[in-house]
Amino acid sequence: MNKVVLASLAILALASCAQKKPESRQTALPSEITLSKEVLLDKVKGGWAGQTIGCTYGGPTEFRYTGTMIQAYVPIEWPDGYVKWYMENIPGLYDDIYMDLTFVDVFNRLGLDAPADSFAVAFARAGYPLWHANQAARYNIQQGIMPPQSGHWLNNPHADDIDYQIEADFAGLMSPGMPNAASEVSDKIGHIMNYGDGWYGGVYVGAMYALAFVSDDIEFIVTEALKAVPQQSTFYTCMADVIHCHKQYPGDWKQTWFECEKKWSEDVGCPDGVFSAFNIDAVMNSAYILIGLLYGEGDFYKTIDISTRCGQDSDCNPASSGGILGTILGYSHIPDKWMKNLREVEDIPFAHTTMSLNDTYRISYNQALQMIERNGGYVSENDVTIQYQPSEAVRYEKSFEGHYPVKQIKLNKQIEDVGEVMFNGIGAVFSGGIRSNDMEYVGKVAASVDGKPAEIINLPANPLKRRHDIYWKYQLPQGEHTVTFQWLNPVKEASIHFNNVLIYADAPLPAVTY
């Protein structure tokens, strides 16, 4: 076969990854599905157990491998006592779980009709540290910007980040066989911190968990769950690519990883990820969840190991793939190699909560029973009958539409030395922060754009209350702009430092040609 023919076949193979809507061998489920209560509880427990194990397994690698995979020769350990060691020494690893539990607790206290503001206030007042979209949302809520505006990209430069995706497990675990019910929960809570593709990450994860109760066909689960996401979104297109690439390269997860890197690794929103190998975007990291599930083929170790070795947020991604597979398998079918470490900690409350895994199993199971009845199902003495819901797409929304990152300006200056910052474009994000020994101090900064007052910015010194980025402005008219800052209440004990400025234009830079 000559080189021209080989090249043509290669091009066709790559194109086939994105030509069709994803399909699976299983096409439908019955409208009513009956499970024993014992099986239902086993699957709820399996979801929480798998999430905890996956998070622990990937913990040491988190963001140590950005823009690259973790090679097979790099050992990832699972020693005896591992989960207990992390819970006692680095409890912040389990932010995936204790943030879920914030929302589980609100449902437990206030019922299934608890309003979005109750979740937002509990989240904003919690004692755990936050980052990215979560911290930006917490700041917004503390400043009086409530959901869904707290997660909207105009108020949150991290709106497309992974945050709700890592916290959405509870939505699916309380909605067995009911992905649309999970999406309703995600609409209420996911918009606290995310929007657009960032929100879709959580919608997709929640839908996969919900379907994991009623099917053990992973291809069906990932394909049916994707119907919950609008087809015109970037998120949908990337996940469809992963599903098709798995069919094209069924024995080679690394090839699918490479295809994702080539097509989807650009970050548009997160100021820390644009122009960087660091990627906390929901789209890319959800692709890694999906790669683990598809290529793991129902094997717990393979699933979490592949999701981990994809890199980037490599504790959160195996937490999600491990939790989804744990729901499929059930608690009683997760291999003892993994469960031995988990059983040592099931009565230990997670950091910043009063809830242990054993508490969580019980509460989450009870919420699942309530959701089954609320959505037309039945609960008897020994069984539950679920009114199965085929996935329906949530509404379409897109963050940073028409905004293209074109430049990053290195400032590395204190506020007194910033002066006038001039740029050509339609928007800018100024990264940096405040430092003060007085945690009660709140710096006040006046931002002006093109000589006109734009915003009085509050900069709390307390890291739990901090503003993640100093200032941002989108949707300006394309052209030359000037931004200035004035510190209104300076004190000697505090400093405000500017790191970088991310510039957006109304069109992308010309593609590089050779």
pLDDT in tens, 47-80: 999 999 999 999 999 999 999 999 999 999 999 9
What is the Cα Rg of the chain in Å?
Answer: 23
pLDDT band at 183 (very low <50, low <70, confident <90, very high): very high
pLDDT higher than threshold 50 for residue 7 = no
Domains of the chain with bracketed CATH:
20-387 (1.10.4080.10), 404-505 (2.60.120.260)
Helices (H), 178-315: 179-190, 197-212, 218-226, 234-248, 253-264, 282-296, 300-309
How high is the mean pLDDT of the chain?
A: 95
Q: Name the helix (H) or strand (E) containing 124.
A: helix 116-125
Q: What is the pLDDT of residue 20?
A: 58
Which sign does the torsion angle of CA 312, 316, 322, 327 carry?
Answer: negative
Give the tens place of pLDDT for each residue, 359-405: 999 999 999 999 999 999 999 999 999 999 999 999 999 999 999 99
In percent, the amount of the chain with pLDDT more than 90 equals: 94
What angle separates helix 197-212 from helix 316-329, to the nearest 10 degrees? 20
From CA 330, how far away is CA 46, in angstroms rounded?
A: 4
Q: Say what the pTM is.
A: 0.95
Q: What is the pLDDT of residue 30?
A: 95
Rounded to an integer, the average pLDDT of 232-258 is 98
Give the tens place of pLDDT for each residue, 320-362: 999 999 999 999 999 999 999 999 999 999 999 999 999 999 9
DSSP-derived letter for residue 172 is H
